[in-house]
Structure 1
């Protein structure tokens, strides 16, 4: 979107935040509650209630693969990518949180256990010097100008990156986020123009759909690292990105991809090709995943302070106890709480979604009643998923 002057200053200017956030509670028949948050706002709440809820009420929460497949395949005619899969992601994360609380285990213990004692972070934000001062091992900055601005724009991009390289010194790792704004010729050109700046990796130069394009830029610059993945939404798309071996890191987002259930499948594919997985943002949901995987060397911290010069919780004041990196790392012991270990802040600004979900009685939406399973053999989880609640954040 940087090609348009009036939308260049910030991503919120073109509406990246227009949907808002939403939260899902999944309650077991024993009263245990799993909770997760993600993006989607009121439309996401509507999808949970009008569509996905039918697959969950009365289900065994241990059947994560089964539940995911039903939600994914049941929404393929309008989904597969974007908002519907992001909604499935939040439901899936809430189910994993529920399972961890029932079992009294952190999620990372249920998906492989710890592979290290501390988790190291790089920082994405506007000020690499601040990231370095806060102890992060590296910093990532957004590329401000696009191919449509021609040679002058290219020169401005090079000067922008040169300024940041000079500010942090020659050895501090510096990454560039292109947010799918480039094309193949421009990527090849700017990578060559910045060869002396020691860029650690070039991120999302192209759309994740352009697998041929990634092959071309890797062929042109085999010694450089290229990454993508935050805007890919399924294992099927990642299969195309992985099998070509043209990417040096993949960056799925657990809050967009389909949740922990789908992320584990993508990570297994990447491991077979020895391609590292470094999730995009998503705070503690990503932390639990990364510490459990041998091919996930570190994690991104997305600067959440107004000026990008301090470390604040990724989810703001939504939780009372969100773990955050200190001096660029996080002790894994801080994740040793049931589920994702997050306690909802009672003072958080949540809006009940009932007003979105109750149709006008004069014009009913005709949602079929959902029959609950009634089974006495639900094993260790003490029953079935009993209730789904969704909330929209202001």
Structure 2
């Protein structure tokens, strides 16, 4: 089967929610006094937007084939990433077959290695890679998960990330991951407040419901160790991203120091097979949590997952909606998935990438049937009501 070639790559930006899910209005739980590495500065403690977490906005990548079929994807990166896609990455795709995703990925990564390797550049590569998989699925009239080997289970089960695990339990989720609200700069009083919040949620949720803390890179080793041991009494299932993503040595020490039975997880802000190899070879964590829109896309996530599978490490991708669902449903070592509660009060299930995507499936009673993914590509469309801006061309 000869497929059309890639005619054009285009990059757009858009503001307000969607892939840049931190770009929310006032009063949203996701920006309410959450512990961060910047919380040591009082002026940046109340809001993550105050130090610029939402400055980039969403990146939308479109790849058009010679027959007019368009694949697309959304991730973060905004205008700087759009420049990289248009001015640098597009040359590695146009005129090629969409089946050449391995060669394309390799050239995008090594062609940008001198200024990339992680962060913004890999976000851009991820967006292009996801759009390429979407295009390939549409050209073959198959969902991406079929291209990845097919479903290994009939449905996905989810835990919910949000400020109200007690409400998430009532919605059928298997667990609830709470943002940690107080970091080391708030001292013993802040530590007590963190533990009290956990205790309150444990009382509301009962003993059979997972509770986790998302620490968003905010802690030091001593604080993280103390938090983990104090949380043991309340059955904390895992402590997530407690340290800087570059502190592999600290994670290895935390994993050794954590209470028996409590998992240490990280990887949301890690990238590529080489970064995750460090996490696994140094025995930094029990679960890795790559974001498919940030770690290198599906092409790279397959390599990361294979390494993890050989080591008995679970891969539970960070958020990313349909882009991770199509992956998780095909992997034995990804037994459940994360769902970000994007309702401002975390009191209802809303599509994660709203308003940018149409047709985005959401869990019902904490689950999603594999058949909900049975549309070509990733099965979603761009919302025509959302205004896209193309800041660069080539």
Distance 1:300 1:209 in 2: 23
Distance 1:11 1:281 in 2: 18
Higher RCO (CA-CA < 8 Å; seq separation 6+): 1
Deviation at 1:222, TM superposition (A): 5.4
**What runs of 5+ residues in structure 2 fail to find an aligned partner?**
1-37
Asked if 1:340 corresponds to 2:375, the answer is no
**C-alpha contact 2:59 2:78 (8 A) present in aligned 1:** yes
Deviation at 1:208, TM superposition (A): 2.3
Q: Partner of 1:283 in structure 2?
A: 321
Asked if 1:169 corresponds to 2:206, the answer is yes
**C-alpha contact 2:288 2:313 (8 A) present in aligned 1:** yes
The correspondence of residues 116-131 of structure 1 with structure 2, limited to 5 A, is 116-131=153-168
Q: 2:341 aligns with which of 303, 317, 320?
A: 303
Asked if 1:328 corresponds to 2:366, the answer is yes
Distance 1:9 1:219 in 2: 32
Asked if 1:42 corresponds to 2:79, the answer is yes
SS at the partner of 1:352?
Answer: coil
**C-alpha contact 1:52 1:71 (8 A) present in aligned 2:** yes
Deviation at 1:243, TM superposition (A): 1.6
SS at the partner of 1:105?
Answer: coil
Q: Partner of 1:101 in structure 2?
A: 138
The correspondence of residues 62-141 of structure 1 with structure 2, limited to 5 A, is 62-141=99-178
**C-alpha contact 2:229 2:259 (8 A) present in aligned 1:** no
**What runs of 5+ residues in structure 1 fail to find an aligned partner?**
359-366, 368-394
Q: Partner of 1:14 in structure 2?
A: 51
SS at the partner of 2:186?
Answer: helix
SS at the partner of 1:323?
Answer: coil
Distance 2:77 2:251 in 1: 30
- Structure 1-normalised TM-score? 0.88
**C-alpha contact 1:65 1:261 (8 A) present in aligned 2:** yes
Per-residue deviation, residues 328-370 of structure 1 (Å, max 9, x unmatched): 01011010111101122222x22231xx226xxxxxxxx7xxx
Distance 2:341 2:254 in 1: 29
**C-alpha contact 2:177 2:211 (8 A) present in aligned 1:** yes
Asked if 1:357 corresponds to 2:384, the answer is no
Q: 2:190 aligns with which of 136, 143, 153?
A: 153
Q: Partner of 2:290 in structure 1?
A: 252
Moved more, 307-316 or 218-227: 218-227
Distance 2:259 2:109 in 1: 36
Deviation at 1:26, TM superposition (A): 0.4
Deviation at 1:40, TM superposition (A): 1.2
Deviation at 1:247, TM superposition (A): 1.2
**C-alpha contact 1:3 1:145 (8 A) present in aligned 2:** no
Q: How large is the Cα RMSD of the aligned pairs? A: 1.4
SS at the partner of 1:141?
Answer: strand
Distance 1:306 1:151 in 2: 29
**C-alpha contact 2:228 2:259 (8 A) present in aligned 1:** no
Distance 2:230 2:343 in 1: 32
Q: 1:203 aligns with which of 222, 240, 245?
A: 240
Deviation at 1:15, TM superposition (A): 1.7
Distance 1:154 1:343 in 2: 44
Distance 1:218 1:44 in 2: 35
Give the 3 Å change call, closer, same or farther, for CA 191–222 of structure 1 in structure 2: closer
Q: Rg larger in 1 or in 2? A: 1
